[in-house]
Chain A
Amino acid sequence: MSDTTIATAASVAPASTETVLSVENLKMHFPVKGSGIVRRTVGHVKAVDGVSFEVAKGTALGLVGESGCGKSTTGRMVTRLYKPTEGKINFEGTDIANYSGKQLHPMRREIQMIFQDPSTSLNPRHTVGSIIGAPLRIHKMVPKDKVLDRVQELLEIVGLNPEHYNRYPHEFSGGQRQRIGIARALTLQPKLLVADEPVSALDVSIQAQVINLLQDLQKEFDISFLFIAHDLAIVRHFCPEIAVMYLGKIVEIGDRESIYEHAHHPYTQALLSAVPDVKQAAIGGRRERIRLEGDVPSPINPPSGCHFRTRCAIAKDICSVVEPPLLQIGKKHKVACHFPGEIHQHPEKPVTAPLLGVDEFGAPDPGASPAEVPGDGPGYADTWYDLANNSRGSA
C-alpha cells in the first residue's frame, strides 16, 4: 500500500478527487394500488423525489434523516435493487439507472451493500464459508479450488478466525455476524459500498469495533461509502460529507463542518439539538432543544411548497407556495430553505425569491427575472450565493 492511498482515504475530505458516483435528480415513486379486481393505481408514494449528490473516491457520504425520509430507498436504488422511476445514477461515468439485469451483472462487483440486521441478512442454512464464497463462485473471480483460501483471507481481514468458515451464522454474536456481512460485501473488491445502518443493531461497545473496521478497510482498499444512518454522532465520525434528507428530498448537504457547526436549515438544526449528550451530566437537566411537533407527513400527499413547512418554526407564506431550491451557499454547502441561516439568525425576507422570480409571498413577480440557481446539480459549483452580501461569491 502506498502513501498516496492513505492520504486520499483519510477521514478529511480530499480537495478534489475523482467522482465515483454521481446521482442526478433521482426519483422513486412506488404506486399505491386501489382495492377491487382491477387494482388501479390510485396514487404514488414519493419515497425519493429528486435527489442529487456525488461521492468521491475513497471518501464517505452520510445520508441522515428520520425513518421514512427515503434514505434507505436511495441506497437501494444506487445498488440497483430498485429501478428508479426517474433520474440518473452515474457510476464511473456510465448511467446505470436503466440497466437490465444482464447489463448489471458486471456492475454488481463494483457496488456492494452492507445491511442493517446481520441476523436476517445471512442465510441461516448456509455456512459462513458458503455465504462469503457465493459471490466468488457467481462472478468466477477465482478458480474453484482457491475459493476457500480467499474466504479465509477475508475472514481474517474482518477480524474473525479463518478456521470458522465451516460454522453457521447462528454460532456467531451480533457483532461477528455484521463482520461476516462486511466480509461478504468485500469479496468482490467493490469500489462503492452502500452501508445501510451498519451498526444500529449492535451494542455500543461493539459499534465502535465495527466502525473502526470499516475505517480501516476504507483506508486499505480505497473504498467509497454511501453511509446511511440515523445516528448523527456516528455519521459525523465516519463521513466527511453529509446529506440530510426529509420526506424524499435533500434539505441540506455539505461537508462535516458546514452541517454540524453551521447548519442553515431549520430541520438540520432541530435534528442536531435533539441528540442527547453525555456531557449534559455535568450540567444537569435537559438540553435546550428545538421541539418538532407532530410526525413526518405522508409521502403520498406531501405538503405543497416546502415539505418541511408543516413542522417548521420559521415558515412563512412563501413556503407553502414555492418549493425552495437546493441553493449553494458555501464552498461545500447547499441548503434548501427560503430563509437559510444559523439558529436565531434566519433572515426576515426569503433570499430565494429574487432568484426564482417571485415576491416574498411566493406570487409571481413580473418585475423580477428568474436567475440561474447556483448549486443545481449533483456536485458543487465554483461560485455560490453569498448570504452575507446577497451576491455571488466564489473561492
Chain B
Amino acid sequence: MTDLSKTPEATPAKGGAFLSVRDLKVHFTTSDGIVKATDGLSFDLERGKTLGIVGESGSGKSVSSSAIMGLHRGTNAMLSGEILLDGVDLLKVSNEDMRKRRGRDVAMIFQDPLSAMHPYYTVGNQIMEAYQVHNDVTKREARKRAIEMLDRVGIPQPDRRVDDYPHQFSGGMRQRAMIAMGLINNPSLLIADEPTTALDVTVQAQILDLLQDLQRDFDAAIIIITHDLGVVAEMADDVLVMYAGRAVEYGPGKEILTNPEMPYTWGLLSSVPDLTASTEAKLIPIRGNPPSLLNPPPGCPFEPRCDHTAKVGGDLCRTTLPDLTPANSGGSHVKRCHIKNADEVYEAEILPEIAPDLVED
C-alpha cells in the first residue's frame, strides 16, 4: 500500500486547474476484505472542457465521481487523496459546507432518470427544490425559474409539463428534466454518469447536443462517464481510461483514440463494431472477465486478460504494477503498461485489425 500511495510522477501537477483530483482512493470494507474501488486516481479538468471517463462496469468510474460529489459521506467508504475544486479540497470540507456546494458548484446527472427522480413529486417540484435549497427565493420565483430551465432544455410547453409526474415524461424528456435540475444553479462542474446509455441513438444525439450547447453557455466543466467510445470521441477533450480502479491511460482524446498505447484500450477499440468496418471480420473481444477488486494481484491488473505480456518478457507483468509513464507519442499522454514500444505494436498489430483502411498512409 505504502508503495502505491505515492502520487504518480508522470501526471503533471498543474496548480491552476479548476478541478484537480490527486491520488484519490475510495476503499470499502466488506466482510470479505477491502474492496479498492478507486485506487490512486489523478486528473485535472479546466473550465469549459470535457473529460471522458471510460471503462467497464466495476472499474471505479462511478465511485470516483460520487466521491467528487461527496456522496460517500456517511457510508463506510474510506477516502484519501485530494479533490481540489477551485482550490478547495472537497474531502476536507464539513458535511454542512459540502451540502451547500452539492448542486450549486458540483451537479450530477444520473444514468437512469426514472429511478433517479422521485415518482411521488412532480418534475417541477423536484427542479424547484434544487433551486430553493441554494437560493432564497419564493415558490413563485422558483417555479418561474424551473419553467425557464425546462424550456432551455427543450421540453415543449414547459408551463404545462412542469406539473407532470416523471412517469408522464418519455425517457428522453426525463433525461432533459434531469439536466435542467442539474444545471438550474449554474454549477461550474457537471458530472454526467452514463447520461445517454438508457436512450435511443436519436435521443442520445439530442442530449449530447444539449450538453454541448449548455457547456458553451455556462462555461461549465463536464465529466462524462460512459462506456461508449463513440460518445467519448465526439464529446471529450481529454480521455481517462480506467481499469480495476486505476487510470490505465490518460491524455487528450485524439491521442488516446488514435494512438492508444495500452492493451486494454486496444481491446476496447477492437471489440466494438463500427458502421463502416468489414462484416466478414470477427469481433475481437477481450477474453475473460473484469477482475475482482478484492485482493487484487500484485502485478498489472489487466495481465490475466492481456495478449501482449510476452512482449515484456519475464514475469514483470505478473509481479510489478506498471507506473503511469509518458507515452511514446509524447505530449501529456500517459499510460500504465510495461510494453516499451507500444506505439509500434499498435501500428503493426492492432491498427490493421480495427481500421485496415488507415494502415496504408
- Which A residues contact B (CB, under 8 angstroms)? 11-12, 66-67, 173-176, 203-209, 211-212, 215, 230, 232-234, 236-237, 256, 260, 270-282, 284-287, 289, 291-292, 294-296
User: Would you call A278 and B202 a contact (CB within 8 A)?
Assistant: no
Contact for A282 among B208, B257, B267, B277, CB less than 8 A: B257
A281 to B206, CA, bound (A): 19
Q: Which of B132-186 contact A (CB under 8 A)?
A: 156, 170-173
Give B204 Cβ to nearest chain A Cβ, in Å: 7
Known contacts A206-B285, A208-B285, A295-B172; decide if A274 and B269 are in contact (CB<8 Å): no
User: Would you call A205 and B274 a contact (CB within 8 A)?
Assistant: no
Q: Which of B53-104 contact A (CB under 8 A)?
A: 56-57
Known contacts A208-B285, A277-B233, A278-B257; decide if A66 and B267 are in contact (CB<8 Å): no
Known contacts A233-B274, A234-B273, A271-B202; decide if A281 and B285 are in contact (CB<8 Å): no
Q: Inside 8 A of A273's CB, which chain B residues have their CB?
A: 205
Q: Inside 8 A of A234's CB, which chain B residues have their CB?
A: 273
Tell me which of B37-45, B109-117, B224-232, B320-328 binds A.
Answer: B224-232
Q: Inside 8 A of B277's CB, which chain A residues have their CB?
A: 237
Known contacts A234-B273, A291-B209, A292-B202; decide if A67 and B171 are in contact (CB<8 Å): yes
A224 to B231, CA, bound (A): 32
Q: Which of B227-256 contact A (CB under 8 A)?
A: 227-235, 253-254, 256
Q: Inside 8 A of B286's CB, which chain A residues have their CB?
A: 205, 208
A230 to B227, CA, bound (A): 16
User: Would you call A276 and B230 a contact (CB within 8 A)?
Assistant: yes
Residue B271, interface by CB 8 Å: yes
- In addition to A236-B273, A273-B205, A277-B275, 17 A-B residue pairs with Cβ atoms within 8 Å of each other are A204-B229, A204-B272, A233-B275, A234-B273, A236-B279, A256-B279, A276-B228, A277-B233, A277-B234, A277-B274, A278-B230, A281-B258, A282-B254, A289-B205, A291-B205, A292-B205, A296-B170
Contact for A207 among B229, B271, B275, CB less than 8 A: B271
A240 to B154, CA, bound (A): 38
Contact for A237 among B172, B227, B269, B273, CB less than 8 A: B273
Q: Inside 8 A of B202's CB, which chain A residues have their CB?
A: 66, 270-271, 274, 292
Known contacts A212-B282, A278-B274; decide if A204 and B230 are in contact (CB<8 Å): no
A286 to B208, CA, bound (A): 10
User: Would you call B206 and A203 a contact (CB within 8 A)?
Assistant: no
Interface core residue of A203, A256, A281, A282 (most chain B CB under 10 Å): A281
User: Would you call A205 and B271 a contact (CB within 8 A)?
Assistant: yes
Interface core residue of B156, B228, B285 (most chain A CB under 10 Å): B285
The chain B residue sitting closest to A256, CB to CB, is B279
A176 to B290, CA, bound (A): 12
The chain A residue sitting closest to B59, CB to CB, is A203
The chain A residue sitting closest to B354, CB to CB, is A278
User: Would you call B275 and A275 a contact (CB within 8 A)?
Assistant: yes
A144 to B274, CA, bound (A): 46
Q: Inside 8 A of B201's CB, which chain A residues have their CB?
A: 66, 230, 232, 271, 274-275
Q: Which of B181-229 contact A (CB under 8 A)?
A: 200-206, 208-209, 212, 227-229
Subset of 12 A-B contacts with CB under 8 Å? A204-B271, A205-B271, A209-B285, A211-B273, A237-B283, A271-B201, A277-B275, A278-B229, A279-B355, A291-B205, A294-B156, A296-B170
User: Would you call B282 and A280 a contact (CB within 8 A)?
Assistant: no
Question: Which 6 residue pairs spanning A and B have beta carbons closest together?
Answer: A276-B230, A208-B285, A281-B257, A208-B271, A208-B283, A205-B286
Give B305 Cβ to nearest chain A Cβ, in Å: 8
A-contact bits for B264-304, CB 8 A (1 contact / 0 none): 00011101111111011011111101100000000000000
User: Would you call A208 and B284 a contact (CB within 8 A)?
Assistant: yes
Q: Inside 8 A of B229's CB, which chain A residues have their CB?
A: 204, 278
The chain A residue sitting closest to B171, CB to CB, is A67
Q: Inside 8 A of A206's CB, which chain B residues have their CB?
A: 285, 289
User: Would you call A233 and B272 a contact (CB within 8 A)?
Assistant: yes
The chain A residue sitting closest to B258, CB to CB, is A282
A280 to B231, CA, bound (A): 10
Give A110 Cβ to nearest chain B Cβ, in Å: 27
A296 to B235, CA, bound (A): 25
Give A101 Cβ to nearest chain B Cβ, in Å: 34
Q: Inside 8 A of B273's CB, which chain A residues have their CB?
A: 211, 233-234, 236-237
User: Would you call A66 and B203 a contact (CB within 8 A)?
Assistant: yes
Contact for B206 among A175, A215, A237, A292, CB less than 8 A: A292
A230 to B171, CA, bound (A): 15
Q: Inside 8 A of B212's CB, which chain A residues have their CB?
A: 286
User: Would you call B271 and A279 a contact (CB within 8 A)?
Assistant: no
Q: Inside 8 A of B254's CB, which chain A residues have their CB?
A: 281-282, 284
A67 to B174, CA, bound (A): 14
Known contacts A11-B279, A236-B275, A295-B170; decide if A281 and B233 are in contact (CB<8 Å): yes
A289 to B209, CA, bound (A): 10
Contact for B231 among A66, A209, A276, CB less than 8 A: A276
Known contacts A204-B271, A205-B271, A207-B271; decide if A278 and B233 are in contact (CB<8 Å): yes
